[in-house]
């Protein structure tokens, strides 16, 4: 598609951010700004957007209403999330985008994962023969990977969009300049990171005015980020990868702006301007598996999302069919544990290590793994990985012990669809809530700590696929997913949540397909996450009846994930769905709502 700016579209887009700002700024009768409540489910026609944030969703819907497509809306919404969800996403991070192209019926993916500097080695997180303390590694220049988000936006718009980068960034720029209302989630995330934010002068200046988090109900503006977006719009993403913004990123990584009274050890990073200049966001072949007559597409390595969700679905399909909720969930937990055992052993950056992806997603391997599952007794965990060697017969040997997967941190996910049938599932992140904790001075965005997704030391006796390396992309759990029925989109979804992203996506699919829930019900249902650990991590409302009797042990966590999705309903309408309560609840909208 041509990206030549269209006068009418340009004119309409100029008004989009004004509408967004007016929603929050226009005074109510009391003199306080009005706010529109988040709505987690919307049905209608003309296009749909679901994100965790009402402003970002409205930006995407504004783009669709102005004539943009699903890709345009995804990029514009993602840029808006960089304003309103700066601790989860932004210019300083990366992500993975999965796109269904209606004109060709093909699914495409963009790998926008951050890369390690060329100077990084397998032992870069080791000092004195021991791994650096994780917290020290996070809040440092050493954890910062080359950002992939701007290049992802540029590639997506260039290949499939109708807007240019300046048009796509304009609503977010105006939102950053005009501001948004601080909610409880934003305030709580700031407070939880206040100690380390205070250690970096640029971060404290932006997020801790007067040494304290912005209070709930206050107005937050980020004019530096607005200027960065405007500069990117004028000069393109080259301003980051070979220009003045990139120079500032490298200077910040190599010499973090620490406060005078810092007591923590803040290590400099290894990134250079040459690392930025070498970055690409390549198109990858999506992972693809069949499940109950549907085709499920996901993200290939360096993400483990597509491979692990896909393997678990294959295992589930190899198990005996059942209509019992407890039995379905027992199968789900066991399949997830088995797939995680294999993920931890075999998946890494396929450009740097040999990942047996085809075998991990083969029916033969799934059948071999499935035969381990007992109908009435949970397997002892952690489980050993299987052997995806193409020779499959009886059950694997489970005598060896595998590795449990530790939880990850913050991310965000958005889903868009347009009137022409194009669909986008896009997960983006800066890793921890607050990333490395370091704002690039004068640029208004936080740097990622994605390199802490590498294993710091060899966990596999010389065969660890996820050790650091020059130019290598750390393994991710992001799992943007698109499901087709008879070659047409049925639904798209994804979630934040570190390693729980995989189980959130998997459980939502099981809820929707196997338990017959609607997408809103499937997404809102209480969650449980089994990542090859001795105990299942579960939300308080998850029903453990019948599962504890089968030997599953549980620990309780407040919430898991914060998903969004879009489903194409049988009558041709779109259903946009966001979390009703998790992480403060999400926002779903359609272009033209059903009466």
Residue 543: both structure tokens together = 């029903």
pLDDT at 38: 87
Model-level pTM? 0.93
Look at residue 37 in the predicted model and tell me its pLDDT.
74
The model's pLDDT over 299-334, given as tens digits with 9 standing for 90+, comes to 999 999 999 999 999 999 999 999 999 999 999 999
> Which among 575, 472, 581, 467 is positioned nearest to 524, based on CA atoms?
581
pLDDT in tens, 550-581: 999 999 999 999 999 999 999 999 999 999 99
What's residue 113's pLDDT?
A: 98
pLDDT at 36: 57
Active-site residue, from 149, 411, 415, 429:
411
pLDDT digits (tens, 9 = 90+) for 254-300: 999 999 999 999 999 999 999 999 999 999 999 999 999 999 999 99
Assess whether pLDDT exceeds 60 at residue 435.
yes
Identify whether 411 is a catalytic site residue: yes
Pairwise CA distance, residues 446 & 441, whole Å: 9
pLDDT band at 33 (very low <50, low <70, confident <90, very high): very low
**How is 467-499 classified by DSSP, letter by letter?**
---TTPPPPB----EEEEETTEEEEEEE--STT
User: Across residues 450-469, what is the average pLDDT?
Assistant: 93
Sheet holding 535-538, edge to edge: 528-529, 535-538, 553-556
Instruction: Give the CATH architecture of domain 289-408+476-568.
Output: Orthogonal Bundle (1.10)
pLDDT for residue 412 is more than 80: yes
C-alpha to C-alpha distance for 25 and 579, rounded to whole angstroms: 25
**Alpha-carbon torsion, ordered 264, 270, 274, 275, to 10 deg:** -90
**Alpha-carbon gap, residue 185 to 156, rounded angstroms:** 30
Q: Which of the four pLDDT bands, split at 50, 70 and 90, describes residue 35?
A: low
Instruction: List Cβ neighbours of 323 (8 Å cut-off, separation of 6 or more).
Output: none
Angle, alpha carbons 115-119-124 (nearest 5°): 90
- Closest CA relative to residue 480, chosen from 149, 108, 169: 108
Ranges for all domains in the chain classified under CATH 1.10.246.130 = 289-408+476-568
Mean pLDDT of the chain: 92
């Amino acid at each position: 598609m041509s990206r030549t700016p269209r006068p009418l579209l340009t004119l309409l887009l100029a008004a989009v951010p004004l509408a967004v700002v007016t929603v929050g700024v226009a005074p109510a009768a009391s003199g306080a700004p009005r706010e529109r409540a988040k709505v987690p489910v919307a049905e209608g026609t003309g296009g749909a957007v679901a994100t965790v944030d009402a402003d970002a969703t409205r930006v995407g819907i504004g783009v669709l209403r102005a004539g943009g497509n699903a890709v345009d809306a995804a990029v514009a919404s993602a840029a808006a999330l960089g304003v309103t969800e700066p601790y989860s996403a932004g210019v300083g991070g990366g992500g993975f985008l999965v796109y269904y192209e209606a004109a060709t019926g093909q699914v495409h993916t963009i790998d926008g994962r951050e890369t390690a500097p060329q100077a990084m080695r397998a032992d870069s997180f080791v000092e004195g023969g021991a791994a650096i303390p994780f917290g020290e590694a996070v809040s440092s220049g050493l954890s910062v990977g080359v950002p992939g988000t701007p290049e992802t936006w540029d590639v997506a718009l260039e290949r499939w969009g109708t807007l240019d980068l300046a048009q796509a960034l304009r609503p977010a720029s105006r939102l950053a300049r005009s501001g948004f209302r601080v909610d409880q989630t934003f305030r709580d995330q700031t407070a939880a990171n206040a100690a380390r934010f205070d250690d970096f002068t640029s971060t404290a200046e932006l997020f801790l005015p007067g040494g304290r988090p912005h209070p709930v109900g206050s107005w937050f503006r980020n004019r530096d980020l607005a200027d960065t977006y405007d500069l990117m719009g004028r000069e393109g993403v080259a301003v980051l990868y070979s220009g003045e913004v990139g120079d500032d990123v490298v200077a910040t990584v190599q010499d973090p702006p620490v406060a005078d009274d810092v007591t923590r050890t803040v290590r400099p990073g290894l990134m250079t301007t040459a690392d930025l200049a070498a970055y690409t966001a390549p198109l990858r072949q999506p992972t693809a598996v069949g499940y109950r007559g549907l085709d499920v597409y996901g993200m290939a390595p360096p993400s483990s999302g597509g491979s692990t969700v896909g393997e678990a679905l294959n295992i589930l399909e190899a198990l005996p069919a059942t209509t019992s909720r407890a039995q379905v969930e027992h199968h789900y937990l066991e399949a997830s544990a088995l797939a995680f055992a294999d993920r931890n052993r075999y998946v890494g950056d396929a450009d740097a290590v040999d990942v047996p992806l085809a075998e991990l997603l083969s029916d033969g391997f799934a059948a071999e793994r499935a035969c381990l599952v007992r109908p009435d007794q949970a397997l002892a965990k952690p489980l050993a990985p299987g052997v995806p060697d193409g020779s499959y017969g009886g059950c694997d040997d489970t005598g060896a012990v595998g590795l449990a997967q530790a939880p990850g941190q913050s991310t965000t996910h958005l889903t868009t669809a347009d009137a022409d049938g194009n669909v986008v599932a896009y997960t983006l992140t800066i890793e921890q809530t607050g990333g490395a904790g370091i704002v690039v001075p004068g640029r208004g965005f936080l740097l990622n700590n994605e390199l802490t997704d590498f294993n710091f030391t060899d966990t596999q006796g010389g065969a660890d696929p996820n050790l650091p390396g020059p130019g290598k992309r750390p393994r991710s759990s992001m799992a943007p997913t698109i499901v087709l029925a008879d070659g047409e989109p049925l639904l798209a979804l994804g979630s934040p949540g570190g390693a729980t992203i995989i189980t959130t996506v998997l459980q939502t699919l099981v809820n929707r397909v196997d338990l017959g829930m609607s997408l809103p019900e499937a997404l809102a249902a209480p969650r449980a996450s089994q990542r090859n650990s001795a105990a299942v991590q579960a939300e308080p409302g998850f029903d453990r009846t019948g599962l504890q009797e089968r030997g599953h042990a549980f620990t309780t966590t407040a919430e898991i994930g914060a998903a969004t999705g879009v489903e194409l309903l049988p009558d041709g309408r779109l259903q946009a769905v966001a979390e009703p309560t998790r992480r403060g609840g999400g926002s779903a909208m359609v272009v033209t709502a059903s009466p």
